[in-house]
Amino acid sequence: GKSDDGGSADGDSDKDSGGKEKIGITIQSLKNDYWAGVMGKLEELLKEEGYEYTLVDCSDNAPTQVSQIENFITSGCDLIMVHPSDAEAVEGICGEALDAGIKVMCWDDPMENTTANWILDNTALGRDIGEATAEFINANYTKDAPAKVCTIGYPSTKVLLERETGIKEGLEEFCDDGVFEIVASVEGIEADKALANVETVLQAHPDCTIFAGVGAGAMIGANEALLQKFGGAGKIPENVGVITTDVTMQQLESLKAGDEAVRAIVGFEGSSLDTAKACLEMYKRILSGEDFSGDKNVVRPTRAITVDDVDDIIAGM
Amino acid sequence: MSEEYVLQLEHIRKEYPGVVALKDVTLELRKGEILALIGENGAGKSTLIKCCSGAVIPTSGKIIVNGKEYDSMTPQLAAENGIAIIYQEFNNVKELSAAENLFLGRPIKKGIVVDKKAMEREAAKAFEQLRIKINPKTLMKDLTVGYQQMVEIAKAIQQDAKILIMDEPSAPLTSAEVESMFRVVERLRKEGISIIYISHRLEEIYRLSDRILVLRDGEYVKTLQTSESHVQELIKLMVGRELTETYPPRGDCIDKSQVVLEVKDLTGNGDENISLKVHKGEILGLGGLVGAGRTELAEMIFGAAKRQSGQMFINGKEVNPKTPREAIDTGIALVPEDRKRHGAMLGISIKDNINMPIYEKNSTLSVINSKKEVATAEKYRENMAIKTPSLHQLMKNLSGGNQQKVILGRWLAANSELIIFDEPTRGIDVGAKYEIYKIMNDLVEKEGKAILMISSEMEELMGMSDRIVVLSEGKMTGELAKEEFNQEVIMEFASEARTSIEEEKTV
Amino acid sequence: MKSKVVYQLKDKAIWLVLIFLVIVFTIANPRFVNPNNILTLLRQVSMYGIASIGMTFVILLGDIDLSTGTIISFVNIICAYFMVHMGMNMWLAIILTLLASTVIGLLNGFMVSTVGMPAIIATFAVQTAFQGLALIISGGLPINGFTEKFKVFGQGYVGIIPVPVIIMALCFALGSFILNKTYFGRYFYAVGGNIEAAKLSGIRVGRIKYLVFAISGFFAGLAGIVMLSRVNSGMATAGLGYEFDVITCVVLGGVSVTGGYGKMSGVVAGTFIIGALQNGMVLMNINSYVQDIVMGVVLALAVGFDCIQKKRKAN
Amino acid sequence: MKSKVVYQLKDKAIWLVLIFLVIVFTIANPRFVNPNNILTLLRQVSMYGIASIGMTFVILLGDIDLSTGTIISFVNIICAYFMVHMGMNMWLAIILTLLASTVIGLLNGFMVSTVGMPAIIATFAVQTAFQGLALIISGGLPINGFTEKFKVFGQGYVGIIPVPVIIMALCFALGSFILNKTYFGRYFYAVGGNIEAAKLSGIRVGRIKYLVFAISGFFAGLAGIVMLSRVNSGMATAGLGYEFDVITCVVLGGVSVTGGYGKMSGVVAGTFIIGALQNGMVLMNINSYVQDIVMGVVLALAVGFDCIQKKRKAN
Ligand SMILES: Nc1ncnc2c1ncn2[C@@H]1O[C@H](COP(=O)(O)OP(=O)(O)OP(=O)(O)O)[C@@H](O)[C@H]1O
Ligand SMILES: Nc1ncnc2c1ncn2[C@@H]1O[C@H](COP(=O)(O)OP(=O)(O)OP(=O)(O)O)[C@@H](O)[C@H]1O
Ligand SMILES: [Mg+2]
Ligand SMILES: [Mg+2]
C-alpha cells in the first residue's frame, strides 16, 4: 500500500488533538428508508458519545465505494465500517486500510481483509422471510386449496437476489406439502414500482393472496395494492398477507393496524435504535482492540416481528 | 426636426470580437420615402438594419423612432413602433402553415385561442395582393425558396408597418415575382410608408429609391439623391475605386475535343431526362426560374442526391458518384447556393475551411501535414484577396463575400476539373462579384477547368456563359449558343412547362 | 396532398404498434384485455401521462427536461411533509406543492432562458441538487400517514374509472388544447422550429421557455401528487429515473427531439405503449432482465422505423 | 487578436475554478494536497477520464452517448465472465472485451448514422437493452476471482504513479492528438459545426458518426476494464449512471453540447474538478445528501458562468 506512512502518522496527530476516535462509514445506499433510519439513530449515538465520524453512501456502486474508503484512509480514520456494495470489490482497499493500521469492520458480508465482520446471511434472511410466510400459509391454506404466492424482489442487486432465492428456499422448506404455489415473481424495490407490478399480478392471478418480498418498498407497494383491491383497511380477508423484511415505521404501523395486509416483518435486533446500539457496540469492541482472530464473524440475529411485539419495536424507531 | 424623420440611427457603432462591423454610422429616414442602402459585402448593411429590430444590440449610438430615443431595440419595441423587417436570411417556421407564418408573433386570436380560419382568410387576401398563388394552409416546408420569400414579404406588408425594411428581398425571386413586389412597394410608398431597401442590384435601386445611402467597411460614406447620381459614381463610392466593366473579358479557350462532363438522360431528385455536355475551358450557363430544378441537378451530379436513372461521364469515363466524397475524388466541385447552410463552416477557421476536402490527401497515417495545410490556405488567401487579419479567424467573422471566396478557395485547393457554381454571386456586392468573375475566367482560361454555372441573374448568365441550357420544372427546355443569347428567348424557354402546372397548384 | 396523407399515416403508425402489442399480449394472456386490467394499466401509466404533457412541450421546443423525476420525488416529500409534519390542510398543501414544482420549473427556465445553459445540463443540475434537498428534508425516511381524503387522487374512482385516469385524460385534453388552439401552443412549434425567426417575429422566446419549463414542472408536480396519493407514502427517491420513462413516452409518440414537430395524440399512444409493455410483460411473467431488453428494443425499433420513414421521404 | 485572448481566457477559466476548489479543500483539510491524496484522487477519476475521451468526440459532433454507463457494466461482466467462467487468457479476454464494447459503439453509430435516430434516443435504447443483457449473463451476481496479474490495470503502480492514472494520461494524450493533429479531429469539429457543409465538403459524415460512436464505445470499454481490475469484481450494475458523470466532466470542461467547440485540455480540467469535489467533500466530512446539492450547484454555476460569458461576448 502507498498510503501507509501518510495515513497512520496523520491519524496519530489527530488523536493527540483531543477528540475521540474517528470513524468512516460507507454504506450501499442512504436513499433507502431502512438505512436512513438505522444510520440516523447511529449518528445520534455517535454524536452523544463524542465520536468523530464521516457517513457516506456509494449509491450501490463498487468503484465509488472503493474511492470512499481511499478517502477515509487519507483522512486518517481509526475505524472504517463498510457495508459493501460488492464485498469482493472492497477487499483490496480494505487490505490497504488494515496495512495502514486502520481497523475495518464489514456489515453484512464475511469479508477477508477486516478486523471483524458483523454479518447477515441474506440467503438465511430470505429463508426466515420464507419461514414466516410459510407459517402464515400453513395456518391458512390446505393442500386442496393451496396458496398462490408472488415474490417481490430486485434481482439487479446481489444481496436482494440472494434474499429472494432464500425466500423461495424457505417456502419449500417450511411449508406443508403442496400447500403453496409461486405464480409470479416481480420486481419492486421502490413502492410505486412494486404497487404497479402487484396490481398487474392481481389482474393475471386474481386469486394470488400471498406476497413475500425483500424489503420495505415491496411491502408498502403490495399492501397498498391489496388495500385498493379489497376496498380499504378492515376489508382484507384473513388469508391474504404480505411478509417482507426491513424495519421501517410505515411497515410497523401497517402491521400494528392489524386490519391491513401486513402479517409479519422479519427484522434484526429489533428497532432501528436496537440495531444502531448493537452496531455501536461492535465499534467499541473493535476500537478497544479486542482480538477477533478466533472467529471474526459476528452473526446478527434475525427475528420475525408480529402484531404481538410491534409496540416495543415502534418505541425504538 | 424629429418630425421630418420617422427613423434616425445616430452614431451607431457595433463591435464584434476582432471586427468592428459598424463605425459611427448615421442614417435618417424620411416619411414616405424609399431609402436605398448599398455597400459591398460586409459593409455592415444587415448589421445596421438589425439594430432597428434588436436582433443586434449596438455597442454605442442612439436609435430614434418617431422622436422617441432608444439605446437599443427589441423585436417587440420595433413592432410597437411600426417597424417591419424582411431579413436577408429566411425567417420562417417550416412546420407551420403559410398563414401561420404570415401572422407569426402576432396571431389573430380570441382571448388565448387562435383564429386559424381568420388568419387563413387574411393570408389569402395578402397573397392575392402580391399576385402569388399560395394556399395559406400549405406548410412552409412544402413551398419553394421563392415562395417562402414571398411569404416573408407578405408578412412584412401585412403588419401595417409605418417603416418597412427590406434586406435583399429580391435575391431569391424571379423577375416576375420581383415585378409584383415592386408594385406593392411603390403602392406602400404612396400610402406614406417609409422604406429602407437593401439590394446589390443597382437597377432595382434606380427603379425604386428616392435617396441612396452608401456604406463602406462599416463606415458611412455618403447619401445621394437617386435622381442626381450615376452608376459609376455609386460603384466608386461603394468600392472605393473605379470599376470599368461588369464582365471581365475572356479569350477563347474552349477545347471542343475534350468533354469534361457529360450527363445522359439523368433522372431523379425532381429532374427528368437531363442531357448536357461541358467542355474543357467552357462555362456552361444553366438558366431557369426558381424551382426549375437546377440546384437539384447540381446535387445529383455532385452525388449529394440520389439519381434514379441516366449516365454520367467525366472525361469520357463513366462515373457514378453516390456521395460528395466520390464526386470530389472524380474531380467535381460544388459551390453551393445556400452559403450559410451548405458552404461555410462558421465555427471553424478559414484555414480549416479551405483545407477540408484535401485533408485526407495531405495526411500520412491520418496525421495532417501542417506545413502544407498552412501553405495551401495562405496561397488561396492571396489569390482570392480574402480580407482577414489571420487564417485562424473563424469563418463566422467574415462577410458574405469573403466567405464565398473562402469556399471558392476550398474547391480550387481540391484541384477539381469541373466546378459547379450555384448562384455564385447571390447576395454579393459588385466589387466582389467582379473578382469572382475574374477567378472564374482564370479557371477556364489559365487552368483549363470546366464550369457549370447556375444563375438566376439574366445578365450574369448571358455575360459569363459560353453556352446556356435552360431548365423548366425539372425538364430541359432549350439550349442556346453564345450567338443566340437573347433575354426573351431564355425567358420563353424558362417558363415553358410552367404555366400549365401553376394553375393546377393553386387548386 | 400526398404529403398530408403520408403525415397522417405516420401519425397513425404508432397506434398500429399499440394495436399490435395489444394483440400479442392478448394472445399470451387473454386477461390482458379484461376491462379491469385495462383500467389498471391506465392507472399505472397515469403518472407518466400527466408528466408527459409538460415534457412534450419542452421537447417541442427542442429542449429536454431531466429534472422531472426529481421534481416528482421532491414534491412527494414536501407535500407529505406539509400534511404530516406540519399538519397543513390538504388543499393548501397541494397548492403549495404545485407552486413549488412550478417554481423549480421556473428555475430551469431561468437557467435555460436567461443564463443560456443547454437544457440537458441545466435540468440535470437541478435534478442532482433537488434530489439532495429531498433527501435532506426527509432524512431519507418515508413520510406517511395521510388523511383518507387524500387517497382520492391516486386511489379513488368516479364510477368505475379511477381518478388518476380521469386526471390524466383531463391533462391530455388540456395539453392538446394548448398546443392546437392557443397562441402560445403555436409559439411552441415556432420556437422549436426556428428560434431565430420566432424571436425576430416578436415572440418573446425567453418567456416561452420560462413558461414551458414552468408547465413541465407543474405537470411533474401533479404527477408527484398523484403518485403520493397512490402509494400513500412519500419517498425521496420515488421519482428516480422517471424522466427517461416520460421522455420515452413522448418520443415514442413521434415528437421530434430536435423540436418543432409532434402531436399530443401521438404522446397518448406512446404512453399507452409503455403501459401495455410494462403491464403485459408482468402478466406474461417475463423475467425483469428480459423486460429491460424488450423495452430497449421496442424503443429502438419504434423510433428507428419512424426515422427510416422520414429519411426515405426526404429522398 | 483580442478574440484570441478572450478565447484563451475562457479556456483557462475552468482551471481557475479547479485551483479555487483546491484552495478551499486545502484550507478545510490540509491533507487534501498531500501528494498521496492527489494520486488517490487521480486514480479515482481515471475511469471518468478514460471514458471522457470518447464522450468528448461524441459531444463535439453535437450528439450524446447515454450508453457509456451500460457499456462499462456490460464490459465488466463479459470480461469477468471470459476470464473466470471460461478460463480465457487475460489478454485475449481484454481484447475481446474491447472489441465487444467497440461493436456496441458501432451499433449506436448504426442507429444514429444509418437509421437516423437522435443520439439521445438511440443510445438510451442501447443502454436499457444492454443493461438487461449484462444482468442475464451475470444472473445478477458479481463475478470474481481474477488472476493477480489482472490487478495491475486498476491497482498497479509504475514508480509511485498508479497504473490507471498512467492509462488515463495516455488516453488524454491520444485524444488530444486525434483532435489536433489528425484529419479526423478536423472532421469532428466540421461535422459538429455544420453537418450539411461538412457533407458537401466531401466528409463522409455517416462514417465519422460510426467512428466516433465506436471510439466512445471503445473508451467506455477500457474504462470498464480498469474499473474491473480496480474493484476486482464484475458487477452488472457497476457503471450505472456513469454516463452522466462523464458528460459532466466533458461539459464542465467547456465542450459545447451543441457540438463544434471544445478542447481536450478543458476536459482534463473538468475531470479533475469532479475528482476534487468527490474526494474533497468526503475529506471535509460533508453529508452525502449535501454532496448532491453541491454537485448540482457547481455544475450549474460553472456551466452557467460560461454561458453568460458567451452571451455577453455575442452582443
Ligand atoms: N455575429 C458576428 N460576429 C462577428 N462578426 C460579425 C457578425 N455578424 C457580422 N459580422 C461582421 O460584420 C460585418 C458586417 O456584416 P453584414 O452582414 O452587416 O454585412 P452586409 O453589408 O449585410 O453584407 P452582405 O452584403 O454580404 O449581406 C462583416 O465584416 C461581418 O464579418
Ligand atoms: N425532394 C423533392 N421531391 C420532389 N420534388 C422536389 C424535391 N425537392 C425539390 N423539388 C421540386 O423541384 C423543383 C426545384 O426546386 P429548386 O427551388 O431548388 O430549383 P432551382 O432551379 O435550383 O431554383 P433556384 O433558381 O432557386 O436555384 C421544385 O419544383 C421543387 O418543388
Ligand atoms: Mg447582409
Ligand atoms: Mg437553386
Please give the pLDDT value at position A30.
Answer: 83
Residue B170 phi, psi (nearest 5)? -85, -10
Which of helix, strand or coil describes residue B103?
Answer: coil
Residues of C with CB under 8 A from a CB of B: 3, 181-184, 186, 189-190, 193-194, 196-204, 260-261, 315
- pLDDT of D92: 97
Q: How would residue B506 be classed by pLDDT, with cut points 50, 70 and 90?
A: very low
Q: Report domain extents, chain B.
A: 5-239, 245-331+416-507, 340-415
Q: In Å, how far is B218's CA from the nearest CA of chain D?
A: 17
Interatomic CA distance for residues B429 and B424, integer angstroms: 11
Q: What is the architecture, at CATH level 2, of domain B5-239?
A: 3-Layer(aba) Sandwich (3.40)
pLDDT band at B160 (very low <50, low <70, confident <90, very high): confident
Q: Contact at 8 Å (CB) between B9 and B131?
A: no
- B165 or B176, greater pLDDT: B165
The answer to whether the Cβ–Cβ distance between D237 and A157 falls below 8 Å is yes
Q: Which runs of E-coded beta strand occur in D178-302?
A: 233-234
> Whole-angstrom Cα distance, residue D124 to residue C296?
8
Nearest of A22, A25, A26, A28 to residue A7 by alpha carbon? A22
Closest CA to B337 of B448, B176, B171: B171
C-alpha closest to that of C171 among C96, C209, C221, C231: C221
Residue B502 has pLDDT above 60, yes or no: no
A123-140 pLDDT tens trace: 999 999 999 999 999 999
Cross-chain residue pair C116–D311, CB shorter than 8 Å: yes
List all residues 6 or more positions away from B300 whose beta carbon is below 8 Å from its beta carbon: B266, B268, B269, B271, B306, B307
| The pLDDT of residue A145 | 92
Return the ligand 2 atom nearest residue B292 CA: 21
pLDDT of residue B42: 73
Task: Tell me what pLDDT residue C188 has.
Answer: 95
- C111, D136: Cβ pair inside 8 Å? no
For A74, other C-beta atoms within 10 Å of its C-beta total 25
d(CA C240, CA A191): 12
Pick from C265, C227, C272, C222: nearest CA to C249: C272
Residue partners of B280: CB distance under 8 A and separation at least 6: B254, B255, B258, B259, B260, B448, B449, B450
- Cα B172 to Cα B150: distance, rounded to the nearest angstrom: 9
Query: What pLDDT shows up at residue C13?
Result: 78
Find the B238 Cα to ligand 3 centroid distance in Å: 14
Distance (Å, whole) CA D223 – CA D154: 10
Spell out the residues 6+ positions from residue C83 whose beta carbon is closer than 8 angstroms to its own: C90, C93, C146, C147, C150
D4-18 pLDDT per residue, tens: 555 555 567 788 889
Residues in chain A: 317
Structure confidence by residue, pLDDT tens digits, B233-254:
888 888 776 555 578 888 888 8
Q: What is the mean pLDDT of chain B?
A: 87
Q: Given its phi and psi angles, is residue A117 left (phi above 0), alpha (psi -120 to 50 degrees) or beta?
A: beta
Low-confidence ranges of chain D (pLDDT < 70): 1-11, 313-315
Q: Which residue of C has its CA nearest to A185?
A: C285
- Of all residues in chain B, the percent with pLDDT exceeding 90 is 43
pTM: predicted TM-score of the whole model, two decimal places: 0.87
The answer to whether the Cβ–Cβ distance between C201 and B109 falls below 8 Å is: no
D214–chain B nearest CA distance, Å: 17
How much is the pLDDT for C291? Answer: 92
The 10s digit of each residue's pLDDT in C101-111 is: 999 999 999 99
B92/C8 Cα distance (integer angstroms): 23
Per-residue pLDDT tens digits for C180-210? 999 999 999 999 999 988 988 889 999 999 9
Atom of ligand 1 nearest to the CA of B44: 18
Is it the case that residue B178 has pLDDT exceeding 70? yes
The pLDDT of residue B497:
57
Q: How confident is the model at residue A3 (pLDDT cuts 50, 70, 90)?
A: very low
Give me the pLDDT at residue B503, please: 44
Instruction: Taking residues B172-186, report their average pLDDT.
Output: 83
pLDDT at B52 over 60: yes
Tell me the pLDDT band of A13, cut-offs 50, 70 and 90. Answer: very low
Are the folds of B5-239 and B245-331+416-507 the same? yes
Instruction: Compute the average pLDDT of residues B25-34.
Output: 93
In this structure, CATH architecture of domain C47-314: Orthogonal Bundle (1.10)
Question: What region, left, alpha or beta, does residue A69 occupy, with left being phi > 0 and alpha being psi -120 to 50 degrees?
Answer: alpha
A to C CB pairs, distance under 8 Å:
102
The strand pair at A103-108 and A52-57 is best described as unpaired
Nearest-Cα distance to chain B for C194, in Å, is 5
In percent, how much of chain D has pLDDT > 70? 96
Q: What is the dihedral of CA B332, B338, B340, B341, to 10 degrees?
A: -80
Residue A12 has pLDDT above 50, yes or no: no
Task: Decide if B98 contacts B148 (C-beta within 8 A).
Answer: no
What are the backbone angles phi and psi of residue A111, rounded to the nearest 5°? Answer: -80, 160
**Cα three-residue angle A91-D228-A158, rounded to 5 degrees:** 65
Counting from 1 in the atom list of ligand 1, the atom nearest the Cα of B48 is: 18
Interface of B with C in 282-321 (CB under 8 A): 305-306
The strand pair at C157-158 and C161-162 is best described as antiparallel
Could you give the C-alpha distances from C173 to C154, C179, D98, in angstroms and in order? 19, 10, 49
Kindly determine whether residue B94 and residue C194, on different chains, have CB atoms separated by under 8 Å.
yes
Q: Would you state the pLDDT for residue B17?
A: 65
Q: In degrees, to the nearest 5, what angle opens at C-alpha B106 toward C-alphas B171 and B62?
A: 70
Q: Which of D3, D183, D204 lies nearest to residue B359, judging by beta carbons?
A: D183
Is any ligand 2 atom within 6 A of the Cβ of residue B384? no
Atom number in ligand 1 closest to CA B16: 4
Q: Is B145 in the pocket of ligand 2 (CB under 6 A)?
A: yes
Of C37, C135, C155, the CB nearest to A203: C37
Q: How far is the CA of B89 from the centre of ligand 3 (A)?
A: 9
pLDDT confidence of residue B245: 57
- C232: confidence class by pLDDT, cuts 50, 70, 90: confident
Label residue A307 by pLDDT band (50, 70, 90): confident
User: Cell 391491513 identifies what position?
Assistant: A260
Highest mean pLDDT among B265-279, B414-428, D277-291: B265-279
Under DSSP, the state recorded for C31 is G
State the pLDDT at residue B330. Answer: 92
Q: Quick one: A13 exposed, middle or buried, by C-beta within 10 A (0-12, 13-18, 19+)?
A: exposed
Backbone Cα Rg of chain B = 23
pLDDT of B443 > 60? The answer is yes
Is there a contact between D303 and C122 if contact means CB atoms under 8 Å apart? yes
C-beta of B290 in contact with ligand 2 (< 6 A): yes
Classify residue C90 by burial, with Cβ atoms within 10 Å: 0-12, 13-18, 19+.
Answer: middle
pLDDT tens string A138-150: 999 999 999 999 9
Chain position carrying cell 429536454: C64
Task: Name the CATH superfamily, with its identifier, for domain B245-331+416-507.
Answer: P-loop containing nucleotide triphosphate hydrolases (3.40.50.300)
- How many CB atoms neighbour CB B319 within 10 A? 18
Residue B456 CB–ligand 2 contact under 6 Å? yes
Q: Where are the beta strands (DSSP E) in chain C?
A: 143-144, 157-158, 161-162, 233-234
Q: Is the CB of B291 under 6 A from ligand 2?
A: yes
pLDDT tens column, C302-312: 889 888 887 77
Q: Which residue of C has its CA nearest to A249?
A: C142
Reported as a single tens digit per residue, the pLDDT across C49-88 is: 999 999 999 999 999 999 999 999 999 999 999 999 999 9
